[in-house]
Amino acid sequence: MLATFICISALLGSPTEGFVSVPTDTYQLGRDGDLDNPPRKVKLQSFEIAKTDVTNAQFEAFVKATGYKTVAEKHHDGLVFQPPLKEFQWMQDKTAYWRFPNGITRGGIEEKADHPVTGICYDDALAFCKWAHVRLPTLDEWEVACRAGTKTDYFFGSTPDQIGLYAHVWHGRDHMKACDADGFTYTAPVGHFKPNPLGLYDMYGNVFQFCQGRLPTDHASWQVHARGGSWWCSRNSCCSFNSFYIGTIVRYASFSNLGFRVVRG
């Protein structure tokens, strides 16, 4: 067990990825007028958060070690995207899961070991965390790490004008035509864009990140939450690439723009 723990710690804590420490303190969170995330102060204990999202290579190591099968593999209900599709429309693809996050006909991850794992659901992320002796960040921990001491809607300012420097998002006006304005249509390699002031990459884009925790407005056990925006998000649709937005997802849904990063402590 000790050898396994050391190996996993090395996998998640390599010099190119690693963790960033967040100290014990009282933090200001939320935003005026946001029902899910109103302004408030929270006291958090220290924790360490991964600099990047969990990658395909890291998830593959987990699968090889455990033989784990994801929910999408078992239920054949992965949700994928391919233009042209109207806003907020996704397609169900029986062949889609983490190895083929947009379905077999759209190619796999053979050349994308350093891209964030997608095609997984919340429970798949929990299974990985249990194996790796880590956990998902809480909603508050994620926001503290994302804000990195800032109080504006974005850690780089009050408007999203610089989003393209820090995040892989959808720059097209709509989703009827593919967009690769920043070099990528779907996911990008983790750490490709500039980090936030704490040294965390892809906080506003690439993939949404699952977090643990409940909201006062939650009314069903299937509701789980993710934060941070994704490659699908644009200014005209979703526009959730900021420090305050909290998204709600069906617990067992596996989207090709949903992933996770981990914390320890």
pLDDT per position as a tens digit, 145-174: 999 999 999 999 999 999 999 999 999 999
Residue 12's pLDDT is what? 55
Q: Is there a contact between 32 and 151 (Cβ–Cβ < 8 Å)?
A: no
Q: Give the largest CA-CA distance in the chain.
A: 51
Both structure tokens of 7: 């190996």
What are the tens digits of pLDDT across the range 250-263? 999 999 999 999 99
- 188-204 confidence digits (pLDDT tens): 999 999 999 999 999 99
* pTM, entire model: 0.93
| pLDDT above 90 (res 124) | yes
Neighbours of 209 (CB within 10 A): 28
Question: Taking a C-beta distance cutoff of 8 angstroms, is the pair 145, 198 a contact?
Answer: yes
Under a CB-based contact definition with an 8 Å cutoff, are residues 114 and 247 in contact? no
- H helix intervals, the chain: 2-12, 56-66, 71-75, 122-132, 139-147, 163-166
Please say whether the beta carbons of 207 and 259 come within 8 A. yes
Place of tokens 């710690």: 9
Query: In sequence order, which ranges of 76-173 are alpha helices (DSSP H)?
Result: 122-132, 139-147, 163-166
Enter the CATH code of domain 2-264.
3.90.1580.10
Confidence of residue 13 (pLDDT cuts 50, 70, 90): very low
How would residue 239 be classed by pLDDT, with cut points 50, 70 and 90? confident
Q: φ and ψ at 89, to 5 degrees?
A: -100, 135
CA distance linking residue 38 with residue 213, whole number of Å: 15
Q: What is the mean pLDDT of the chain?
A: 93
> What's the CA gap between 81 and 117, in Å, rounded?
16
pLDDT at 7 over 60: no
For 177, which DSSP code?
S
Name which of 206-210, 219-223, 233-237 the model is least confident about.
Answer: 233-237
Tens digit of each residue's pLDDT (9 = 90 or more) over 31-72: 999 999 999 999 999 999 999 999 999 999 999 999 999 999
- φ, ψ dihedrals at 77, nearest 5°: -135, 30
Name 264's Cβ contacts closer than 8 Å, sequence gap at least 6: 19, 47, 48, 133, 134, 135
At 17 the pLDDT is: 56
Inform me whether the pLDDT recorded for 181 exceeds 50: yes
Confidence of residue 11 (pLDDT cuts 50, 70, 90): low
What are the residues whose beta carbons fall under 8 Å from the beta carbon of 76, sequence distance 6 or more? 94, 95
Q: Do residues 230 and 193 make contact, with C-beta atoms less than 8 angstroms apart?
A: no
Confidence (pLDDT) at 4: 42
Does pLDDT of 15 surpass 60?
no
The CA radius of gyration of the chain, in Å to the nearest whole number, is 17
**pLDDT tens digit sequence for 77-121:** 999 999 999 999 999 999 999 999 999 999 999 999 999 999 999
